[in-house]
Amino acid sequence: MLRNKNTIRTLALVASIACATLCCAPAAWAGKTRNVILVIADGVRWQEVFTGADPTLVNEELKKKYWDDDPTVRRRKLFPFLWETAATRGQIYGNQTMGSVAQVTNTMWFSYPGYNEMATGAADPRIDSNEYGPNPNVTVFEWLNTRPGFAGKVEVFATWATFADIFNGARSRIPIRSGATLVDANDKSSRGALLSELYRTTTRLEGADPYDSFVHVVVRDHLRTHRPRVLFIGYGDTDTFQHMGRYDAFLETAHSFDGYLADLWQQLQSNPAYKDQTTLIVSTDHGRGSGPVEWRDHGVDQKGSNGIWIAVIGPDTPPLGERRDLAPVTQSQIAATIAALVGEDFRASHPTAAPPLHEVLGAR
């Protein structure tokens, strides 16, 4: 019954967004953005993003580092880059206490359905498991890889091995480095050998999936020698530690994730191929429950797991900051937004995809 109610609410939301944007949906345009990077922190709740450490979950030791009675101060302690750079120079959606709702349209409220939705622009009820297998849907990443100027310049880096299925590497031919394939075993340099040794000898929390720190180092090294135009980066430690009930480790990994964003942005702005030509989209695949135990998990049994957040910073995005009192936005709008930012119209060939986030695209 709950899933049926969620489906009805989801259909109503999708219909309202479609009606609101149909009359003004623009064609592809040419802005300043040449490159787009989508970065995901798996399972990070909007509550921590907008109000910082949860007062019902944080312990005395963590309060020394992350606590302040003012939620706008403690959110900056936890996510300094998001609030001091992304939210001041760009836009951030999802603070439900301020009338800004960002949510998924899929009715599953967990990872694979969420990643499929953000990458294809539409929910697929067939995808009802993280073990679903190769994605039958074409993602905006796969589609862009067929467009002039993008072939061979679309790449994926992530911790979770399942991204090989989500982006259907066998069909899409997109280079996907995730799980056991993240570290390049063919790199015989001293640095490559060290990374391989560290990966091989580090005890992992889940299967072949490396820690987020490995992803960050690999991506940073890769950007020094390669110039992808469209890039997906998926970090997973935040979700893992929440499932383990380790709120302390979650806060530390969330803070580290923010540091990775800051370092990535600094690297992009110091590289002439990316400086003032790159838009960064930051989000999550799903929300979680709220409560002394419920925060650990997500899915239809955990109320609120459909709530997410989206931040965008780049040369075409007006600095409107924290968005308030506006119509809901959805995870499904990310795919068309990625394409529109680089001058492509994903919906022309995939009409079921949701429209882009028009206000992050600037003047058109």
Q: Give all domains of the chain, ordered by start, each with its CATH number.
A: 2-360 (3.40.720.10)
Q: What local confidence, expressed as pLDDT, does residue 20 receive?
A: 44
Residue 192, CA distances (Å) to 183, 251, 294 in order: 8, 30, 41
Is pLDDT of 8 > 50?
no
Query: What rounded mean pLDDT belongs to the chain?
Result: 92
Q: State what percent of residues in the chain have pLDDT above 70.
A: 91
Q: What local confidence, expressed as pLDDT, does residue 185 receive?
A: 87
How many residues does this entry show for the chain? 364
Is pLDDT of 193 > 70?
yes
Residue 128, CA distances (Å) to 63, 113, 117, 125 in order: 38, 7, 12, 6
Is 175 exposed, middle or buried (CB count within 10 Å of its CB: 0-12, 13-18, 19+)?
A: middle
Kindly report, residue by residue over 212-261, the tens digit of the pLDDT. Answer: 999 999 999 999 999 999 999 999 999 999 999 999 999 999 999 999 99
Kindly report, residue by residue over 94-148, the tens digit of the pLDDT. Answer: 999 999 999 999 999 999 999 999 999 999 999 999 999 999 999 999 999 999 9
Going by C-beta distance under 8 Å and a sequence separation of 6 or more, which residues neighbour residue 277? Answer: 32, 33, 34, 35, 315
> Hey, which bits of 20-112 come out as E strands?
35-41, 91-93, 102-103
| pTM for the model | 0.92
Q: Average of pLDDT values for 318-347?
A: 97
Q: What local confidence, expressed as pLDDT, does residue 206 receive?
A: 86
